[in-house]
Amino acid sequence: MKYKYYIVDVFSSTPFGGNQLAVLPEAQGISPQGMQKIAREFNFAETTFVLPPKSRKHTRRVRIFTPRAEVPFAGHPTVGTACALAMRGHCGAGDKWSFTLEEDVGPVAVEVKFRNGIWSAMLTLTGEVERPNDAPRNQEVAAVLSLPSGDIIETFFAGVGLPFCFAHLANREAVDRAAIDKPAWTKFLSQAWSPHVFFFAGELKSGAELYARMCAPAFGIEEDPATGSACAALVGAMMSRPGITGETADLSVIQGVAMGRRSEIKAIARKFEGKVTSVSVGGATTYVANGEIEVGSEWLST
């Protein structure tokens, strides 16, 4: 059976930048095993499969697969899927759309806009940021990144739907120089609260621009050009700190530069009565291609 797919570049306003995403807009009938096979075939960081919603209040159900596993939530697949559906007329004509996408993490609100020839979207998650009591050790994360301990300012865990190990590095040069040491990763992070490491440079304050990279060996992702879920967790963790005042805080994150896939991500956190109540992450999405993929009967649901 043939299934339509779209390819979009997320967190980039021009083709061949940002994070690649394959979207199957009408994926009914494909088994979970088939979805995993297709995601491995595309071999992008993620592939999404769009299904009818379980609730009439919601727009679509979306399942997200890396080449190795299904994930409950991810930023660039959510932003990119919403944009792809709007771009290709799956949700009516216009220049502004409001989606509620059902993901395993729960309903995710997404606002899509088309302005001055550029498609963009912003997702919002409600609820508190996950922060475990323990934290990774600086020297262990330094070993994972093949860096001297002096390049590490701090490390911490945080997540919103997907957990991350964050490493704040001294400068951009250290971010570019970092390389995953697989034995050290296996020893120190593979069984940790999060095995996915997001490392960045820049001042961690509202309005700042950060320079970042992300590696997720557990998902078969050597390096990710753009990681919206990590940016959402990072701005939420920052906003949770006692020294951050005000009701909102925002970060701009530049990622994927060394890979030749520059990505620009905007992340916002909101606080009420001292607690983070929601985080948003978004950016531009560019349409690249479409086609059909043949799915054999062995990969269809019975």
Torsion angle, alpha carbons of 157, 163, 167, 173, to 10:
-170
Query: ∠ CA(23), CA(111), CA(79), 5° rounding?
Result: 30
Q: Can 292 be counted among the known catalytic residues?
A: no
Pairing label, strands 248-255, 208-216: parallel
Helices (H) and strands (E) in the chain, counts: 6, 16
Supply the DSSP symbol for 30: B
Long-range contacts for 43-47 (Cβ within 8 Å, ≥24 apart)?
Answer: 43/67, 44/19, 44/20, 45/19, 45/20, 45/21, 45/76, 45/219, 45/221, 45/224, 45/225, 46/21, 46/71, 46/74, 46/76, 46/77, 47/21, 47/22, 47/23, 47/77
What residues have CB less than 8 Å from 156, skipping those under 6 apart? 131, 135, 136, 165, 166, 237
**Considering 46, 103, 130, 223, which one is annotated as catalytic?**
46
Report yes or no: 246 and 272 within 8 Å, Cβ to Cβ.
Answer: no
Q: Where are the alpha helices (DSSP H) in 162-227?
A: 172-177, 182-188
The values of phi and psi at residue 8, to 5°, are: -130, 155
For 236, the 3-state DSSP assignment is: helix
Catalytic residues: 46
